[in-house]
């Protein structure tokens, strides 16, 4: 048995175990009552199934020294590499725009929806998409937890809020509403800005600024950060799979040679 065949066999055995773990996680998510996590069930199960299918073909090809199975394995792996490359390039392009704006007296930044890419704008301005995202935000209790995290107004003003907390849990600073505590603003003051978000904000924990453009911008910034992490992970994954692809090519060539000799 060649070294490349041995390596491919064990790599694919390990990735099969990984695929089973991924599918198990997807099944657990499907039984979870949180609608936000349930929405990710199909992609997670799909990812696990694809990894398992490719791995088992590569494992059997290396185990039986079958050049046809190794050919199929390499073709499928090539498709995966191309898909990862396309997704990674698009992720970097989509997340290239958008950054926070510093505000005097605040340790965190505020975000504006128009700063982000047209793809983010299309997704977040879609009524159906935003209705689902908004229900997830309300269930997350991020805004409700602010009053527990920052029990005094002084601590709240010195806080470094996340993009979602800054955009969804409070009115934009330009509105000029004075904060009473971390979850309540005095709305009796007339807003000093024409920003429509000023009128949309309410102190009710089910409303807050969830309908504001500033909230959508906060979600866009969160998604941008998450996508960047995924894109960087994909770059690493692409390099690793490229090495595996190269080893697989060697294993297929060795399998073809052994059959020729026979």
Residue 2: per-residue pLDDT: 60
Q: What is the pLDDT of residue 240?
A: 84
Please state, in angstroms and rounded to a whole number, the distance separating the CA atoms of residues 230 and 226: 6
Residue length of the chain: 262
Q: Count CA atoms within 13 Å of residue 131 on its CB side.
A: 3
H-helix segments, 39-178? 41-63, 67-94, 118-125, 127-140, 146-149, 153-157, 163-168
Backbone angles phi, psi at 190, to 5 degrees: -75, 130
Query: If you search the block for the tokens 């064990």, which residue do you land on?
Result: 10
Cα 184 from Cα 63, distance rounded (Å) = 65
Is residue 6 pLDDT above 60, yes or no?
yes
Quote the tokens at residue 84.
Answer: 């990862």
Given a contact cutoff of 8 angstroms between Cβ atoms, the answer to whether 117 and 94 are in contact is yes
Distance between CA 175 and CA 170 in Å, rounded? Answer: 10
- What is the pLDDT at residue 250? 79
The DSSP code sequence of 149-167 is H--SHHHHHT----HHHHH
Show Cβ contacts of residue 125 under 8 Å, excluding neighbours closer than 6 positions. 216
Is the pTM higher than 0.75?
Answer: yes
Q: Is the pLDDT of residue 41 over 90?
A: no
Residue 198 CA to residue 191 CA, distance in Å, equals: 7
Q: For position 34, what pLDDT does the model report? A: 56
Percent share of the chain, pLDDT over 70: 92
The pLDDT tens digits of the residues spanning 56-103 come to 998 888 888 788 888 898 899 899 899 889 989 998 998 888 888 998
Of 98, 120, 121, the closest CA to residue 109 belongs to: 98
Instruction: Identify the residue whose tokens are 């510093």.
Output: 102
Residue 26 tokens, joined: 């997807």
Rounded CA separation 262/257 (Å)? 9
Our separate counts of H helices and E strands in the chain read 11, 4
Let me know the angle formed at the C-alpha of 72 by 67 and 73, rounded to the nearest 5 degrees. 90
- The most confident of the ranges 32-36, 132-136, 214-218, 248-252 is 214-218
- Residue 66 structure tokens: 């079958």
Q: What is the pLDDT of residues 97-152, one digit of tens each?
A: 888 899 888 889 999 999 999 998 999 999 999 998 998 898 888 898 998 899 89
The answer, yes or no, to whether residue 248 has pLDDT greater than 90, is: no
Confidence of residue 229 (pLDDT cuts 50, 70, 90): confident
In tens, the pLDDT along 144-199 reads: 899 889 989 989 989 999 999 999 999 999 999 999 999 999 999 888 899 999 99
Q: What is the DSSP letter of 113?
A: G
| Average pLDDT of the residues of the chain | 86
Predicted confidence at residue 259, as pLDDT, reads: 56
Pairing of strands 179-181, 184-185: antiparallel
β-pair partners for 102: 109
The interaxial angle of helices 118-125 and 213-261, nearest 10 deg, is 110
């Amino acid at each position: 048995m060649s070294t490349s065949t041995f390596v491919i066999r064990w790599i694919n055995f390990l990735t099969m175990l990984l695929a089973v773990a991924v599918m198990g996680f997807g099944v657990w998510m499907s039984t979870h009552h949180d609608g936000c996590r349930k929405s990710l069930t199909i992609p997670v199960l799909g990812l696990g199934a694809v990894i398992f299918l490719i791995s088992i073909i590569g494992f059997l090809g290396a185990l039986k020294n079958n050049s046809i199975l190794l050919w199929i394995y390499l073709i499928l792996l090539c498709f995966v590499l191309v898909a990862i490359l396309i997704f990674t390039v698009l992720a970097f392009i989509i997340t290239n725009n958008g950054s926070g704006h510093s505000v005097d007296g605040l340790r965190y930044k505020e975000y504006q929806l128009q700063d982000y890419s047209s793809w983010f704008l299309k997704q977040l301005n879609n009524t159906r998409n935003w209705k689902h995202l908004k229900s997830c935000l309300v269930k997350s209790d991020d805004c409700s937890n602010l009053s527990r995290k920052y029990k005094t107004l002084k601590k709240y003003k010195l806080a470094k809020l996340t993009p979602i907390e800054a955009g969804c849990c409070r009115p934009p600073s330009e509105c000029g509403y004075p904060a009473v505590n971390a979850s309540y603003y005095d709305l009796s003051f007339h807003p000093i800005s024409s920003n429509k978000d000023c009128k949309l904000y309410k102190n009710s924990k089910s409303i807050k600024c969830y309908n504001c453009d500033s909230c959508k911008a906060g979600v866009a910034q969160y998604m941008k950060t998450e996508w960047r992490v995924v894109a960087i992970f994909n770059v690493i994954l692409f390099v690793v799979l490229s090495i595996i692809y190269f080893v697989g090519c060697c294993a297929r060539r060795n399998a073809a040679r052994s059959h020729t000799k026979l």
